Amino acid sequence: MKQFISSHDVSNIPALIDQALAYKASPRKDEQLGKHKRIGCLFLNPSMRTRLSTQVAAQQLGMEAIVFNVGSEGWALEFEDGAIMNGTTVEHVKDAAPIMGQYFDVLAIRTFPSLKDREADYSEFIIRQFIKYAGIPVLSLESATLHPLQSLTDLITIKEKMNADQSISRKPKVVLTWAPHVKPLPQCVANSFAQWVNAWGHAEFVITHPKGYELHDAYTNGASIIYNQEEALKNADFIYVKNWSAYEPYGTMPEFEGDWMLTLEKLKDTNNAKVMHCLPVRRNIELSDEILDSPHSIVTHQAANRVWAAQAVISNMICK
Ligand code: CP
């Protein structure tokens, strides 16, 4: 695997899920695979789960993981080819990335969208500049429009819970529901979850959000879009809660009607639904205490599974 920035980089999603679950069953089974190899983890933006789970995963493969918080500790990077660098940027990605390509075997990058320039964000300009100049495999730790390690984790978690709950013999009903937030957030987790669930093809998939929060149909094609949250949640087995800002007008927070925060009352017509969130979560804004502190919530289990997703992907990037 030469890059991992979307579901399109994976030829067999069920096999990758099984590989991750095999690592969960036997975390050190490939501890020689990464011997004498290094992964560089570049963070242009903050992280907790992605940063720690990627380091743990790499170490379990016998690799050395080096973290560089570029956004807060590195030189300000320039990404525009041909730029006259007379402003605040100090080093061009064209110079920095090939050096990292010499230090590491895999380059992992987190880079959030601007939420101002939709064309640049949706072209994945920054991570593609690293791919262009690094000369080694590039792994997304969340980019402008997608968060593939999170989405792989989410499918692993659904598959694992399905295996444990023999009462669901049909395709599970998975509902992605929009939730409120105090500030505009990227669309990447929602885009990515939709892309991966659709590519996986093993769920009845519904997306619910207020009018004005439509995601790009490149990701949602295959899902049913239902604007009425109560109707969408009926018979749900899994509910994925996430806020995102509008695609059009880009990065805005259009007014919406109704109360979109999930509560226990809203779960009454579900199939005893399990509730997921990528975290971090703003309690009692995006998701209520009563859900997060109830047996419905599987967010900790989900976050723990980040290790196995990262381990499966990194192993495919370093194997011959
Ligand atoms: N879900 C997730 O990516 O968490 P972090 O931002 O803490 O890495």
DSSP-assigned beta bridge partners for residue 206: 175, 224
Q: Each residue of 60-90: b (16+ CB within 10 Å) or e?
A: bbbbbbebebbbeeeeebbbeeeeeeeeeee
At residue 71, the pLDDT reads: 86
Q: Which residues line ligand 1 (CB under 6 A)?
A: 47-50, 142, 150, 278-280
- Residue nearest atom 3 of ligand 1, based on CA coordinates: 50
Q: Compute φ and ψ for 176, nearest 5 degrees.
A: -95, 115
At residue 299, the pLDDT reads: 98
Q: Each residue of 272-306: b (16+ CB within 10 Å) or e?
A: ebbbbbbeebeeeebbbeebbeeebbbbeebbebb
Q: What is the atom index within ligand 1 of the atom nearest the CA of 278?
A: 1
- Residue nearest atom 7 of ligand 1, based on CA coordinates: 48
| Half-sphere exposure at residue 148, Cβ-oriented, CA atoms within 13 angstroms | 23
The answer to whether residues 140 and 189 touch, using CB atoms and an 8 Å cutoff, is no
- From ligand 1's centre to the CA of 86, what distance in Å? 34
Q: Give the SS3 label for residue 294.
A: coil
Number of continuous H segments (helices) and E segments (strands) in the chain = 13, 12
Q: CA 295, CA 130: separation in Å to the nearest integer?
A: 42
Tens of pLDDT along the chain (320 residues)? 999 999 999 999 999 999 999 999 999 999 999 999 999 999 999 999 999 999 999 999 999 999 999 989 999 999 999 999 999 999 999 999 999 999 999 999 999 999 999 999 999 999 999 999 999 999 999 999 999 999 999 999 999 999 998 777 889 999 999 999 999 999 999 999 999 999 999 999 999 999 999 999 999 999 999 999 999 999 999 999 999 999 999 999 999 999 999 999 999 999 999 999 999 999 999 999 999 999 999 999 999 999 999 999 999 999 97
Between the CA of residue 318 and those of 8, 13, 50, 98, what are the distances in Å? 19, 18, 19, 18
Q: Give the SS3 label for residue 241.
A: strand
| Half-sphere exposure at residue 62, Cβ-oriented, CA atoms within 13 angstroms | 13
pTM: 0.98
Q: Which of 311, 284, 67, 280 is nearest to 189 (CA)?
A: 280
In percent, the amount of the chain with pLDDT more than 70 equals 100
At residue 318, the pLDDT reads: 97
DSSP-assigned beta bridge partners for residue 68: 42
In one-letter notation, the amino acid at residue 303 is A
pLDDT digits (tens, 9 = 90+) for 239-262: 999 999 999 999 999 999 999 999
Q: What is the atom index within ligand 1 of the atom nearest the CA of 110?
A: 8
The answer to whether residues 146 and 193 touch, using CB atoms and an 8 Å cutoff, is no
- From ligand 1's centre to the CA of 51, what distance in Å? 8
Q: How many residues does the chain have?
A: 320
Give strand ranges (E) for the chain: 3-4, 38-43, 64-68, 77-78, 91-92, 106-110, 138-140, 173-178, 204-208, 224-225, 238-242, 274-276
Q: CA 206, CA 223: separation in Å to the nearest integer?
A: 5
